[in-house]
C-alpha cells in the first residue's frame, strides 16, 4: 500500500492521489479498463450492486475503474467530496443543469459565458420551460434583484470568457446560500491549481477538461465536483439517464497524464501571459488588454485574492475594430488560428466570428465585448518567440 499521508501538496496530489500502483501489479500508470460491462459472480452480487448495497462496477456509462481514479483525483484537487468525469465540458454542464432544473424553473447567469453554454441557456432551455436571466455578476446587488422564487441555479465563469471579467465567488456564494439557490462555477480557465471555488462557497464546479486539465489538445473531456449527494444525482440521473455523456477510459487516462504536469504548465502559462499582457498593452495598435494581472484591470485586487496566479488567457481590443482584428488574425505565423484553449501551442481566435458567433451582434455588445476583440490562449513556447510573432502581427494590424 502507498502511504497516502505523504500526498499533501497540490503538485504531489495531482500526480498521486487516488491511485495505488501496488493494487495494480506495480504499474506506475493506471491501467486503461477498456470494458463496457462487468461480470457478476452470482445473481446475488448483481442484485446487490444494482441495489447499491455492494460496491462494484455494473456498466461503464456509470463507472469504470480508470475513470474512478480521475474522479477521485479531481475531487481531491478541487477540495470537494466527490467527482464525476464526463465526455466533454458541455456533457458536464448538461448533466448538471438537466438534473437540477425542471420546467418552470429559472437560472441566473453571468452576462458573459462560453458560447455554447450561452446557446444552451438562451436558445435551447426555453423549449423545456427553463428561462435564464443574464446579469452582471460583478454587481452583487443586481444578482440579489435577479433571484426570484423560481430561481434554482446561478452559474458563472471567472475570469469570464472572453473579456476576463472577474466574479467574486465568495460574494456570489453568500447571496446564493441565503436564497437557497445552487451556485455553479465553470472553473475551466483556472483549474483547481489557480482557483478552488468550492472553498469559497460555491456548490458545484464544472470543467472542460479538454482545456488545461488535459493540456495537450488531444482529447475532449469534462468534469464535475460537488457534494457526494449532488454528484450521485448527476451520475445516476444526469449521465446515466439524461445525456449519456460518459468519458471513455482512454480519455480519462489521458487527462490523468495531463494532470501530472498541471502545476508546471499553469505556472508557465501564467508567467508568459503576464509578461505578454504588459508588453502588448504598450503596443500602439492595441486599445486595451484584458488580463487580471494588469494594473489597468479593474478587479486586479479581487483576482489576486481568489486566484493563485492569473492564468494563460488574454484578450486584446485592437484599435480599428473588426478589420484590424481580421488583419491581426491573418498575420500571426507562430500562433495558431484555432478555437479551444489551454494547449501547449499558442492559439488565437476571434470571438465575434468564432466562439461567440451564436450571439447576435446586439447580444455580443450587451454581453460586454466588441467585434474587434481577439483572444489569446498563451502556450508553452518560448516567451520571446510568442512576443515577436504577436508584435509583428500587431504591426500589420495597425497599418
Ligand atoms: C470549452 C469550454 C466549455 C465546453 O467544453 P467542451 O469540452 O468543449 O465541451 C465550457 N466552458 C468553458 C469555459 C470552456 O472554455
Q: What is the pLDDT of residues 218-232, one digit of tens each?
A: 999 999 999 999 999
The CATH number linked to 170 is: 3.40.640.10
Percentage of the chain exceeding pLDDT 90: 89
Three state DSSP letters for 313-353: EEEEEECCHHHHHHHHHHHCCCCEECCCCCCCCCEEECCCC
> Do 101 and 166 reside in the same domain of the chain?
yes
Distance of CA 322 to CAs 95, 114, 285, 396, Å? 36, 20, 13, 14
> Do 330 and 185 reside in the same domain of the chain?
no
Give the Å distance between the CA of 126 and the centre of ligand 1.
Answer: 21
114 is catalytic: yes
Q: Which of 97, 120, 121, 211 to mutate to test the pocket of ligand 1 (most atoms within 8 A of CB)?
A: 211
233 is catalytic: no
Answer for the pair 276, 293: CB distance below 8 angstroms, yes or no: no
Give the Å distance between the CA of 232 and the centre of ligand 1.
Answer: 22
> Do 131 and 80 reside in the same domain of the chain?
yes
What is the tally of structural domains in the chain? 2
Which of 259, 287, 307 is the last residue before a domain boundary? 259
212 is catalytic: no
Q: Which residue's CA is minimally distant from atom 5 of ligand 1?
A: 89
| Predicted confidence (pLDDT) at residue 369 exceeds the cutoff of 80 | no
Which of 201, 235, 259 is the last residue before a domain boundary? 259
Is 208's C-beta closer than 6 angstroms to any atom of ligand 1?
yes
> Do 53 and 197 reside in the same domain of the chain?
yes
| Predicted confidence (pLDDT) at residue 142 exceeds the cutoff of 90 | yes
| Predicted confidence (pLDDT) at residue 47 exceeds the cutoff of 90 | yes
Give the Å distance between the CA of 48 and the centre of ligand 1.
Answer: 37
Average pLDDT score over residue span 152-171: 95
> Do 182 and 86 reside in the same domain of the chain?
yes
Q: From the alpha carbon of 189, which atom of ligand 1 is closest?
A: 13
Q: Which residue's CA is minimally distant from atom 1 of ligand 1?
A: 208
Q: Which residue's CA is minimally distant from atom 12 of ligand 1?
A: 114
> Do 230 and 346 reside in the same domain of the chain?
no
Instruction: Please give the pLDDT value at position 322.
Output: 86
Give the Å distance between the CA of 177 and the centre of ligand 1.
Answer: 26
> Do 368 and 274 reside in the same domain of the chain?
yes
> What domain range is 85 assigned to?
4-259
Is 160's C-beta closer than 6 angstroms to any atom of ligand 1?
no
**Beta strand pairing call for 347-349 and 336-337:** parallel
d(CA 172, CA 201): 9
Which of 259, 283, 308 is the last residue before a domain boundary? 259
Q: What is the mean pLDDT of the chain?
A: 95
Options 168, 186, 203, 251, the catalytic residue: 186
Average pLDDT score over residue span 298-316: 97
Percentage of the chain exceeding pLDDT 70: 99
| Predicted confidence (pLDDT) at residue 1 exceeds the cutoff of 70 | no
Tell whether the torsion through CA atoms of 5, 10, 14 and 15 is positive or negative: negative
Give the Å distance between the CA of 114 and the centre of ligand 1.
Answer: 7
| Predicted confidence (pLDDT) at residue 35 exceeds the cutoff of 70 | yes
> Do 240 and 288 reside in the same domain of the chain?
no
> Do 194 and 285 reside in the same domain of the chain?
no
> Do 181 and 66 reside in the same domain of the chain?
yes
> Do 156 and 9 reside in the same domain of the chain?
yes
> Do 23 and 150 reside in the same domain of the chain?
yes
The CATH number linked to 341 is: 3.90.1150.10
Amino acid at each position: 500500500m502507498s502511504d497516502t499521508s505523504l500526498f499533501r501538496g497540490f503538485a504531489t496530489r495531482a500526480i498521486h492521489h487516488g491511485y495505488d500502483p501496488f493494487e495494480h501489479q506495480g504499474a506506475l500508470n493506471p491501467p486503461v479498463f477498456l470494458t463496457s460491462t462487468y461480470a457478476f459472480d452470482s445473481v446475488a452480487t448483481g442484485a446487490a450492486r444494482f441495489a447499491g448495497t455492494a460496491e462494484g462496477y455494473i456498466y461503464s456509462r456509470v463507472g469504470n475503474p480508470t475513470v474512478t481514479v480521475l474522479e477521485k483525483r479531481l475531487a481531491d484537487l478541487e477540495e470537494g467530496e466527490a467527482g464525476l468525469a464526463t465526455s466533454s465540458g458541455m456533457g458536464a454542464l448538461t448533466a448538471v443543469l438537466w438534473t437540477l432544473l425542471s420546467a418552470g424553473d429559472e437560472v441566473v447567469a453571468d452576462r458573459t459565458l462560453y458560447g455554447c453554454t450561452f446557446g444552451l441557456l438562451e436558445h435551447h432551455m426555453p423549449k423545456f420551460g427553463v428561462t435564464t436571466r443574464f446579469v452582471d455578476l460583478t454587481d452583487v446587488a443586481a444578482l440579489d434583484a435577479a433571484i426570484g422564487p423560481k430561481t434554482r441555479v446561478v452559474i458563472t465563469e471567472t475570469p469570464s470568457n472572453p473579456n476576463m471579467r472577474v466574479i467574486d465567488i465568495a460574494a456570489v456564494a453568500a447571496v446564493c446560500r441565503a436564497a437557497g439557490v445552487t451556485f455553479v462555477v465553470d472553473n475551466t480557465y483556472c483549474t483547481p491549481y489557480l482557483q478552488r471555488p468550492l472553498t469559497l462557497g460555491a456548490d458545484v464546479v464544472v470543467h472542460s477538461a479538454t482545456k488545461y486539465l488535459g493540456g495537450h489538445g488531444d482529447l475532449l473531456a469534462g468534469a464535475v465536483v460537488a457534494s457526494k449527494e449532488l454528484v450521485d444525482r448527476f451520475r445516476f440521473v444526469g449521465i446515466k439517464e439524461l445525456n449519456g455523456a460518459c468519458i471513455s477510459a482512454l480519455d480519462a487516462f489521458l487527462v490523468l497524464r495531463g494532470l501530472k504536469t498541471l502545476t508546471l504548465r499553469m505556472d508557465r502559462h501564467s508567467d508568459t501571459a503576464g509578461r505578454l499582457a504588459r508588453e502588448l498593452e504598450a503596443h500602439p495598435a492595441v486599445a486595451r488588454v484584458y488580463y487580471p494581472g494588469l494594473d489597468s484591470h479593474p478587479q486586479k485586487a479581487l483576482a489576486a485574492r481568489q486566484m493563485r496566479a492569473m492564468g494563460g488567457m488574454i484578450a486584446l481590443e485592437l484599435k480599428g475594430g473588426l478589420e484590424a482584428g481580421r488583419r491581426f488574425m491573418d498575420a500571426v505565423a507562430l500562433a495558431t488560428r484555432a478555437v479551444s484553449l489551454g494547449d501547449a501551442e499558442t492559439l488565437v481566435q476571434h470571438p465575434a466570428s468564432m466562439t461567440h458567433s451564436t450571439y447576435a451582434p446586439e447580444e455580443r455588445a450587451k454581453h460586454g465585448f466588441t467585434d474587434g476583440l481577439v483572444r489569446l490562449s498563451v502556450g508553452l513556447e518560448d516567451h520571446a518567440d510568442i512576443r515577436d510573432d504577436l508584435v509583428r502581427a500587431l504591426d500589420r494590424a495597425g497599418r
